Structure 1
Amino acid sequence: MKKKYIIIIISAIVLLLVCVYIIRKTSPIEKKGIYIVCAGDSITAASYPENLEAIFHLKKLGRKIEVINRGIPGHTSGQYLAYLQKSKILDSTIINIVLLQLGTNDVRIDTDHTGTEQFYNNMRTIINLFKSHTNSDLSHPEVFLSTIPPIVVEVPGFFNGESKRRVVEEINPAIFQLGEETHCPVLDNYALFMQNPKLLPEIHPNDEGYRAIADNWYKMLKPFIAEMP
């Protein structure tokens, strides 16, 4: 009788283990969350990161995606580099993807003016800082770059014709070159606004323009995220 009970218990345990195995094999594997950091100046600090997160939630890609806004209004590449070095945000943040857009304030004609070579060096250092960040799972962030929008209006004391020229002939070419050198994909938001001028009435986009930036980023990131573990 005792032997019979032992056989029943063993059979029940085996059946339970088989059921657990089948459930695990047939259930979809839950993928880990993704943390996207948007780094830049006031164009980043505005609403495009919020819009981007809303798009990800709407599209339901099967995993949690959190978009973190680290835009600082008024920052040049040099000021943002100093912010990264002093704030220590990299020490306490999980970062899987970085969206980096800087350069608009670097073409100003006041004290924020930054030479192209210095801009290039600042950006390269920023990219290296992000890429060298190590997450708890020993992974490193993937960095994506963006060209900056055109300067469509002159603002006395801040932006003039020289600012417009530098965006086209110096800053955006430098960003494409940085992309090649550091193996970072480049999103052409300059082209976005040249093709849709109503989205950029002044130095900053309008609400529709910020939504367009978010949609542009989503289109670039979707296939990349689909391949992430």
Structure 2
Amino acid sequence: MVGKLGLIISFLLLFQAGNSTKTILFYGDSLTAGLGLTTEEAFPALVEKKFKQQGKPCKVINAGLSGETSAGGLSRLEWVLRQPVDVFVLELGANDGLRGLPIEQTQKNLQAIIDKVKAKYPKVKIVIAGMMVPPNMGPDYTSKFRKIFPELAKKNNATLIPFLLQDVAGNEKLNQADGIHPNVEGHKIVAENVYKVIQPLL
């Protein structure tokens, strides 16, 4: 009897442990994909590693696609949401900004992505990565672009990463030759930025 009881308790503990593993989906462009690096060197994998080191195992899905726009992200979303997600990190819009696409359309696409994620998984926690565009886009455009992300976060009661590339953007030592994409050391800093924001959610 004792042996059976012990077996049942062990099974329940294993079941609870399995249920405690959260799934974090990083949905973005080349920054999330880790352009120029291996998937293991990109910040999503580094965030997963940090959680495991803290005794909080989680499953991280890197759904980054280089060159992705908000419109492209909206069109491929259904395929990505085939499995349950606990935390959805939205990192899109930068390519819209670099191409000078209409602010209103970018914001509309990002909102549509959030709406679809919430409809599919009502209990999901949304995290929005704030982005900026170079000043050569003009002061009016750059200002309006920057406001997209905090406005979306406020409207959707989502968690905001104020600026994904904080302490990395503009630093030659932390970026690749193109001056846009972080190198290995840059991704480590981005991972730290992201981890600090997501950690309380788990």
What's the TM-score once normalised by structure 1's chain length? 0.71
Does the CA-based 8 Å contact 1:132-1:140 persist in structure 2? no
Secondary structure (helix, strand or coil) at the match of 1:73 reads coil
Secondary structure (helix, strand or coil) at the match of 2:51 reads helix
For residues 15-54 of structure 1, what are the structure 2 equivalents within 5 Å?
16=2, 20=6, 30=17, 31-46=19-34, 47-54=42-49
Residues 161-186 of structure 1: CA deviation (Å, up to 9, x unaligned):
1178634x022211100110111110
Q: Greater CA radius of gyration, 1 or 2? A: 1
Between the aligned partners of 1:52 and 1:181, the Cα distance in structure 2 is 26
For residues 72-87 of structure 1, what are the structure 2 equivalents within 5 Å?
72-85=65-78
Does 2:129 correspond to 1:146? yes
Between the aligned partners of 2:198 and 2:113, the Cα distance in structure 1 is 21
Aligned to 1:161: 136
For residues 1-229 of structure 1, what are the structure 2 equivalents within 5 Å?
13=1, 16=2, 20=6, 30=17, 31-46=19-34, 47-61=42-56, 64-85=57-78, 88-90=79-81, 92-109=82-99, 113-134=100-121, 140-151=123-134, 161-162=136-137, 166-167=141-142, 169-189=143-163, 192-193=166-167, 197=171, 198-200=173-175, 202-225=179-202
Q: 1:132 to 1:178 in 2, by over 3 A?
A: same
Residues 175-220 of structure 1: CA deviation (Å, up to 9, x unaligned):
1001101111101225713788343461112221111111111111
Aligned to 1:154: none
Aligned residues: 188
Give 4+ residue runs of structure 1 displaced > 4 Å after superposition. Answer: 17-20
Does the CA-based 8 Å contact 1:37-1:97 persist in structure 2? yes
- Higher mean C-alpha deviation, range 209-218 or range 28-37: 28-37
Q: What is the percentage of aligned positions where both structures have the same residue?
A: 24
CA root-mean-square deviation:
2.9
Task: Give, in angstroms, the shift of residue 118 of structure 1.
Answer: 0.5
- The one-letter code of the counterpart of 2:189 is A
Does the CA-based 8 Å contact 2:30-2:64 persist in structure 1? yes
Between the aligned partners of 1:171 and 1:149, the Cα distance in structure 2 is 7
Secondary structure (helix, strand or coil) at the match of 2:20 reads coil
Residues 57-90 of structure 1: CA deviation (Å, up to 9, x unaligned):
22222xx3011000111011111111214xx231
Q: 1:67 to 1:191 in 2, by over 3 A?
A: closer
Aligned to 1:10: none
Does the CA-based 8 Å contact 1:97-1:142 persist in structure 2? yes
- The one-letter code of the counterpart of 1:145 is I
